[in-house]
Structure 1
């Protein structure tokens, strides 16, 4: 993996994510922190931000990674699911221009689950500090190598999880209902 191709100057928000990671460890959590910054589309000025840290051990939740936690916070407070394009009047919190967007700052390169969550949240810019190789070093021991290897394999060749597929009489009912009912709340769409 070559990180020089994506190298950028450090930012205060990335430093804040790293501070949160250190505080997390000092308080019994994992060594990861994340910040989401909401910025104005026209000016790029920061409107607001959210900060969180890894809470896996403290909450007994294997999905409570810093990036997931801060996405949950921002999305809930804003009342939106697309943090990449937030329209004025759509969000619960005010903004002066018609559109805004969010940027993710993470103390470390996000794991496969977190990078997926960042995509699902519509966030189009990510900046991180420590690499996945830094996180995997002896004494730190947060390696995602097995997950990356497994995701590259077809289901039938996966070694750590048995995956099965079966059709049922109702396996498409929820999709059909969603597709055919205009009253169902959609997400990811610009409000009319």
Structure 2
């Protein structure tokens, strides 16, 4: 019989919190069992294995991030929408580093298609409508924005910008301004 109070949802949230504390690579069913002071076997009625737990954390993180981005985008267009999207993404990664890492996990095709990753792509395309891009430029822009945001956030979180006197916030704003100018220029070409 399953231990009272333990549900897949509760375990997923606890796993996400653990990932933020110790890093996603340290999240295992055993570590989660220690957190709840239960035997590992008692969690296997809710989780298949550590990979299942990490996939659940990834899906949770993608949904949570999509909700934040959607709230940030409400009523915005053009550069304001681009900056709101980027800021929400960056803020989430800084606040929840383990969840952010989980959101980057490669999911199988079926799981990915049913995840909030699809919402992220739709929101990015919605931002790009303000730049009047057509295909294939819109797809290129979705990939570029994802790459730039992820790259910037990853480098910043790893301390990659700490060796210079230029504030990383100034560089972030410069990056957003540059992306906006690039997208406006691409639309007019």
TM range, smaller chain: under 0.3
TM-score, length-normalised on structure 2? 0.26
Query: Looking at both structures, which has the greater relative contact order when contacts are Cα pairs under 8 Å and sequence separation is at least 6?
Result: 2
Structure having the larger proportion of residues in helix: 2
TM-score, length-normalised on structure 1? 0.26
Structure having the larger proportion of residues in strand: 1
